[in-house]
Amino acid sequence: MIKLKPYFLYFLVLPAISSCVSGQLGKNNSGEFRNGMVVTAHPEASKVGLEILKKGGNAVDAAVAVQFALAVVYPNAGNIGGGGFMVYRSKDGEIASLDFREKAPRKASRDMYLDASGNPIEDKSLYGHLAAGVPGSVAGMVEAHQKYGKLKWAEVVQPAINLARNGFAITERQARELTGYQKEFSKYNPGKQYFIKSSYAAGENVVQEDLAKTLELIRDNGRAGFYEGPVAEFIASEMVSGGGLISKEDLKNYRAIWRTPVSGTYKGYKVITMPPPSSGGIALLQLLKMVEPYPLKRWGFNQDSSVQVMVEAERRVYADRASYLGDPDFYTVPQAQLLKTEYSLSRMRDLNWNRATLSSEVKAGEFGYAESDQTTHFSIVDRDGNAVAITTTLNGSYGSKVFVKGAGFLLNNEMDDFSVKPGAPNMYGLVGGEANAIAPNKRMLSCMTPTIVEKDGNLFMVVGTPGGSTIITSVFQTIVNVIDFDKSMQSAVNAKKFHHQWLPDEVRYEKGGLDSLVKVKLQQKGYKLVEGGNIGRVDAILKTKWGYQGGADPRGDDVAVGW
C-alpha cells in the first residue's frame, strides 16, 4: 500500500519571497564582492558569518559560527541535534570532506520500525524519540575547527550564545511555521517547555535560555560539552522518558569522519563533492557525465530535449542509488564502477527520443562487482579564497519534534533516511534495500550534496541545497544552469527546477517551470508531469573575474552578504 508521505507536502508548503544581497565594503562596480561572501538560510546567520570573516576568521571559522547560529535562529533545520556534511577547498586547492552524519544508536535493529507482519508502522521512524539518530553536528564543528580554524573556538561559538540569550527577531515565515507546529510540539514534549505559544508574530524576539547554557558548555568544553556531562545526561534522560534508544555510550563514542571527497569533470570543470554516506556526490557526478555529450546549450534552458535528457539521466541515477548506496563502513559501495565514465554513458544508451522510458524498464545498472521539511545549506568564501560548503539537517522540519528537556534543542528524525524495509518509500518517496538497511552504529544514506566546482584549477562555485530527494537534482541543475545556460549565480538559483527520482515514475516541476509547448511535447512522449511547489533552496557563490556573486534562494528567507 502506498502511503501519503510528508514528502508530498514538502512541495506545497514553501511559498516564495525575495532574497537580497547586502553588504557595503568591497562591493565593486559589477555588484560583486571582492573580500568574501556568506550565503545562508537566515539573515542573522549570514550576519554572524560575515562578522567572523571581517574580524579575520577564515571560511571554516565562519562556517562553524554559522552552523551554531543557525541552531539558534533556524531551529527547523539548523541544529546541534542533527548532522551534516562539509566539503572544503583551501585557497591552494587542498580538498577535504567531513562526515558528521548522525548514526543509528547501538540498540537500533534492522526491523525496529516494522509491525509483526513485517510492514512499516506509520510515522514510527519519523516522529518522537525513536526517530532520532546520534547527533553529529557538534563533533563535526569541533573537528573542522581543530583542523582548519584560525580564531579561538570560544570566539566562533559566542555569537550563537548571544543570539540565544538576547533573542532574535523571527521572520514572517518563521512566525507562520512555529505557529503551525504547535500541535506536534505539544504532542512530543509533554512538559511543554520550548516554543509553546498560541501564536507567533513576525519580528517577535525569541529568547532560548537553556540553549544558551548548552552552547556555553560547548564553548567551554568542546565536544565533551555536548557528548559528555550535563548535556549528555539531558539527552539520555530524554530518551528514557520518551522510549528512545540513544545512550550516553552512543554519545561518547560518536566521531565525525574525514573522508576523501569524490570528484569528476564536467565540460572542463572539476566538481568536488561529498562521498558516501551521502549518495549525493556520486549521483551528481553520474548525472553530469550522462548529460555531458548532449548540446544542452543549443537546446536551451527547460526546453523539451534538455528536460528529457536530464530526466532520463535522473531516472537511471536514482535507480542506482536505491541499490548501491549506503554507509561505506557497513556496505561495500561500488564507487569506482559507478563513477566510470563508460558506465554512465552506457546507462543512457537505451534512451528513446520518441517516448519516455518507463521506470519499470529501468533497474540499477549492472557491472562486474569487482570491489568486494528539513535541511539547510550554506556556502562561504573568505578573503583568501578558502571555500566551505556545508549542508546540515534534522531531516524533517523540526526533526523528531522532540526537544531535549533542560538542554533546549531539537533532536533529528534521521532514522527515516534508512530503508526501514526493502522497497518501502521513506518520507521523500525514496526506496532502498540491503545497502541502506538499519544496523547498530551505521550511518543512514543521505542525498545532501555540498559541492565545490573548480575551473582551470581555481575556485569557481560553492553550491548546495536542502530538499530531501530533490537535493541532487537541484544541485545538478544549478551547475548546468551556470555552465550550459550562462545564467548568473542568482538566476541559476532562481530558475525553476524539475525532478525525477526513478520511483514514483513522474516528473515533478515547479509551477511555471515548463511552458505549455514543452509540456505538450513531453506528455506526447509519455512523461507524466506533476506540477508542485518549490524544489530546493539553493545557497551558492560564483567566482567571476570581478569578485564573488551570491545566489540566495528566494524560495526562503535566504540572504547573501559580502564585503
Q: Name the residue nearer to ligand DON (CB basis): 208 or 446.
A: 446
| Per CB under 6 A, 82 contacts ligand DON | no
Catalytic residue chosen out of the listed positions 171, 214, 357, 375: 375
Out of 273, 286, 337, 393, name the contact with ligand DON by CB under 6 A: 393
| Per CB under 6 A, 136 contacts ligand DON | no
For the CB of residue 272, give the shortest distance to ligand DON in the complex, in Å: 19
Out of 155, 417, 454, 484, name the contact with ligand DON by CB under 6 A: 417
Contact, 88 vs 58, CB < 8 A?
no
Say which residues have a Cβ less than 8 Å from residue 16's Cβ, sequence separation at least 6.
534, 554, 555
For the CB of residue 374, give the shortest distance to ligand DON in the complex, in Å: 5
How many Cα atoms within 13 Å fall on the side-chain side of residue 143?
A: 20
Contact, 88 vs 273, CB < 8 A?
no
In this structure, are strands 20-22 and 559-562 parallel, antiparallel, or unpaired? parallel
Label residues 317-328 b or e (16+ Cβ within 10 Å = b): bbbbbbbbbbbb
For the CB of residue 373, give the shortest distance to ligand DON in the complex, in Å: 5
Distances (CA, A) of 300 to 43, 307, 487: 34, 9, 11
| Per CB under 6 A, 449 contacts ligand DON | no
**Residue of 3, 85, 466 lying closest to 258 (CA atoms):** 85
| Per CB under 6 A, 448 contacts ligand DON | yes
Kindly identify the residues of this chain, within the stretch 466-495, that bind ligand DON according to CB under 6 A: 466-468, 471
Contact, 182 vs 198, CB < 8 A?
yes
Q: At what angle do helices 280-291 and 470-483 cross, to 10 degrees?
A: 40
Q: Name the residue nearer to ligand DON (CB basis): 79 or 494.
A: 79
| Rounded CA separation 530/508 (Å) | 5
Among 31-39, 61-69, 368-376, 476-484, the segment contacting ligand DON (CB under 6 A): 368-376
| Per CB under 6 A, 447 contacts ligand DON | yes
265 is catalytic: no
For the CB of residue 12, give the shortest distance to ligand DON in the complex, in Å: 13
Contact, 348 vs 357, CB < 8 A?
no
| Per CB under 6 A, 503 contacts ligand DON | no
| Beta strand spans in 173-321 (E) | 205-206, 257-259, 262-266, 269-273
| Per CB under 6 A, 436 contacts ligand DON | no
Out of 446, 473, 477, 549, name the contact with ligand DON by CB under 6 A: 446
Interface mask toward ligand DON for 318-357; x: CB under 6 A: ----------------------------------------
Q: Which residues bind ligand DON (CB under 6 A)?
A: 373-375, 393, 395, 414, 417, 446-448, 466-468, 471
